[in-house]
Homo-oligomer: A and B are copies of this chain.
Amino acid sequence: MSMMGQSISIGELARRADCKPETVRYYERIGLLRDATRTGGGQRRYGEDAVRRLTFIRHARDFGFSVESVRELLAMSDQPDMSCQEVDAIATHHLKKVESRLRRLSALREELQRMVTQCAGGKVESCRIIEVISDHQLCVTENSHGGAHDLG
């Protein structure tokens, strides 16, 4: 059932999943995609299943799931009879991270807003922005930023 219809080139696959051939090869290398069938000349050829799988991966990455999480999700979706507790756990964990990040980012926005509005446009000497960055004490929201790191 999988011998026929392997006619999609890597470029077409990439286009259909909205990414680049390099990314596809990368996913193959790290084992997210299975090794593709090859033409006599050694080029990769894919079927529709690969399009679905890659689309899943890209979409999950878009959602902010780490590659390791995607790997787990794929493993689970490969076993449809299994209970989806673990799937739920991964998604819930991810949701928690997103929420915490959202809180910190939102505090950061307030601080930046405050900084920008308070800066009178004078000399650096009296610039609130530099002051706020220099002096943590001036922060309204303590322990609230720390914000540009990756989600798990």
Q: Which residues of A contact B (CB under 8 A)?
A: 52, 55-56, 59-64, 73, 76-77, 79-85, 87-88, 91-92, 94-95, 98-99, 101-102, 105-106, 108-109, 111-113, 115-116, 119, 121-127, 129-130, 133-134, 136, 145-148, 150-151
Contacts and interface: CB of A to CB of B under 8 A. Distances in A.
Given A136-B59, A147-B63, A77 B124 contact: yes
B115 A148 contact: no
B108 A98 contact: yes
A133 B83 contact: no
B87 A129 contact: yes
What copy number does this chain have within its complex? 2
Contact of A119 (B79, B88, B101): B88
Contacts of A101: 105
B63 A111 contact: yes
A36 to B, nearest CB: 20
B64 A129 contact: no
Nearest 9 interchain pairs by C-beta: A64-B148, A84-B127, A80-B125, A95-B112, A148-B151, A64-B147, A84-B124, A77-B130, A62-B146
